[in-house]
Amino acid sequence: MRAFGLPSALVVAALLSTAIGTFAAPLSQRSPQANSTSALQEREGSPTNSMTYGSDESPKQAHFGRNSVVRGVNLGAWFVLESWQNPSLFLTQDIRSMQLNDEWSWMNAKGSKAQEDLVEHYRTFMNQSDFEAIQRAGLSTVRIPVPFWTFVPTVKPEPYLASRQRKALRDALTWSKQYGLDVVLDLHTVPGSVNGLDNGGRLGEQAFADDPNNAKRALNALSVMTDMFVNNASYGGVVKAIQVANEPKINERLSWSVLQDYQAAALKTIRAAIKPSAPVVPTVLFSDAFQPWSKYDALLPSDAYPTSQIAVDHHQYFVRAWDSRVPKDDDELIDYVCAIGPRIAAAQKKRAVIVGEFSLGRETRCVDYHTCQDVKMSQDVSTLNSAENNKFMRRFFEAQAASYEQGGGWIMWSWKTESAAAWSYSAAREQGWIPDDVSDPAQWLYRPADESQRKALPDGQCITTQPSRSPRFATQS
């Protein structure tokens, strides 16, 4: 998620072939033609397998965000550590006195103990009962953030634990198949990082473009991921989407056009890796990089990027510390949320838009993870569960769901946290801020039950001001 790191590059699109050509040169030496998506496609050539990808009618196309509404959760902090989300890992006795910002610094601080602790974390943080609970909650999808070092070896000085995530990841897909959940495999980190955030592995590093091998390694990770989990029929085709990069930050080190070159190469890589025997052809998710969706209209023409093949991933947070435009007033914030729906609906007409991250948080929690030392979830809930705020939180969730379902759907961040209730779907559901089963229209309190009721709402509103019945919450302070 974008939340808890500090923004700190230029993404260079490396080709799968050994002849990198102009992409290996410094940006100042490259021609506009060499940096264009069309030039990259021309140099790469066509996919090597025989599968037909261009037809929207292909029965193997996942059509993620098109065939049915997406309602899901992220399995954050399982394979990519975030100190605010699982502070206990950062507060063990041997490192408690340190200030560690990310997985890079955590690995270096833990030294020889890192492998033992991480493998245990992978084994225990999520288990089969979580996937069963996700299904009972009426959710359809899990988005699984995974780091590049799951699929390709690390290089010095990268301290990460390579490949040891695979067993737990295999379990995740097996359980997803068992409980009928779709999976988004999200390459949450790439070599060098495209955003400089802690969720990229190393806070302050945005060096993806510094070495063209970074792009080659990222593409290789996508290829291995695809072969390992898309081509393996034993998983039953649960992988419905693959995301090629998380939250790239457009700045002086990452231009929009160069990001597009990488995304084009990633699409080609994934397509080339899928075997004709694969049960499903997953949709490829491109981050909007917090840029206007209109950019995709010009840069992703449907003839080169059929709508069956790609979708746009948008992350939407309402934390004033990040965006001063977010209203302070509760009712104004609900209106602000509802206004997003029509914009998503308009974009959805061109290609699927998935809100791949959002939360109920209006403020950050545990940014300095030391402040959450030994804080229990119930203690955090008690700071948010006044009678008035309980009702607001339920309205806030229902308004976001109503808006985002005007597009392809939503995936909340995250299924669980240790002590940040507004960022934990499971804790929010237990408290009553989220319906127990979001697939049951009868359980919604503020959201219109059908199209006729929705049309009866005043202009600009996406939920009612009064609940359909008295809400019930687990606790109230």
% the chain with pLDDT above 70? 87
Name the residue with higher pLDDT: 143 or 324.
143
Find the mean pLDDT for residues 59-72.
94
Q: Quote the tokens at residue 32.
A: 């506009």
Q: Distance between CA 339 and CA 319 in Å, rounded? A: 17
- Produce one character per residue of 47-59: b if its CB has 16 or more CB atoms within 10 Å, e if not: beeeeebeeeeee
Q: Which residue carries 């030294």 as its tokens? A: 111
Q: Residue 16 — very low, low, confident or very high, per pLDDT cuts 50/70/90?
A: very low
DSSP one-letter string for 108-152? HHHGGGHHHHHHHHHHHSS-HHHHHHHHHTT--EEEEEE-GGGTS
* Host H or E run for residue 175: helix 166-178
Task: Quote the pLDDT of residue 59.
Answer: 65
Question: Would you say residue 259 has pLDDT above 50?
Answer: yes
Task: Quote the pLDDT of residue 45.
Answer: 32
Q: State pLDDT tens for residues 117-142.
A: 999 999 999 999 999 999 999 999 99
Total-model pTM: 0.89
Task: Quote the pLDDT of residue 245.
Answer: 98
Share the mean pLDDT of the chain: 88
Q: Distance between CA 450 and CA 119 in Å, rounded? A: 47
Name the residue with higher pLDDT: 223 or 351.
223
**β-pair partners for 312:** 286, 353
Collapse the DSSP code of 464 into the 3-class scheme (helix H, G, I; strand E, B; otherwise coil) and give the result. coil
Find the mean pLDDT for residues 431-442.
97
Q: Residue 304 — very low, low, confident or very high, per pLDDT cuts 50/70/90?
A: confident
Task: Quote the pLDDT of residue 244.
Answer: 98
Question: Would you say residue 52 has pLDDT above 70?
Answer: no
Question: Would you say residue 389 has pLDDT above 80?
Answer: yes
Task: Quote the pLDDT of residue 182.
Answer: 99
Find the mean pLDDT for residues 262-287.
96
**Nearest to 166, CA basis, from 134, 199, 119, 202:** 119
Q: Residue 451 — very low, low, confident or very high, per pLDDT cuts 50/70/90?
A: confident
- For the chain, which domains are there? 41-49+58-455 (3.20.20.80)
Name the residue with higher pLDDT: 30 or 390.
390
* Host H or E run for residue 227: helix 212-229
Find the mean pLDDT for residues 284-309.
81
Q: Distance between CA 266 and CA 186 in Å, rounded? A: 13
Worst-scoring range by mean pLDDT, 177-186, 298-307, 459-468? 298-307
Give the ranges where 405-442 is alpha helix by DSSP (H): 425-431
Question: Would you say residue 2 has pLDDT above 90?
Answer: no
Report yes or no: 149 and 190 within 8 Å, Cβ to Cβ: no
Q: Distance between CA 58 and CA 321 in Å, rounded? A: 45
Report yes or no: 49 and 275 within 8 Å, Cβ to Cβ: yes
Task: Quote the pLDDT of residue 305.
Answer: 77
Task: Quote the pLDDT of residue 1.
Answer: 60
Name the residue with higher pLDDT: 201 or 2.
201
Q: State pLDDT tens for residues 188-228.
A: 999 999 999 999 999 999 998 888 899 999 999 999 999 99
Q: State pLDDT tens for residues 86-113.
A: 999 999 999 999 999 999 999 999 999 9
% the chain with pLDDT above 90? 76
Which amino acid does the sequence have at 434?
Answer: I
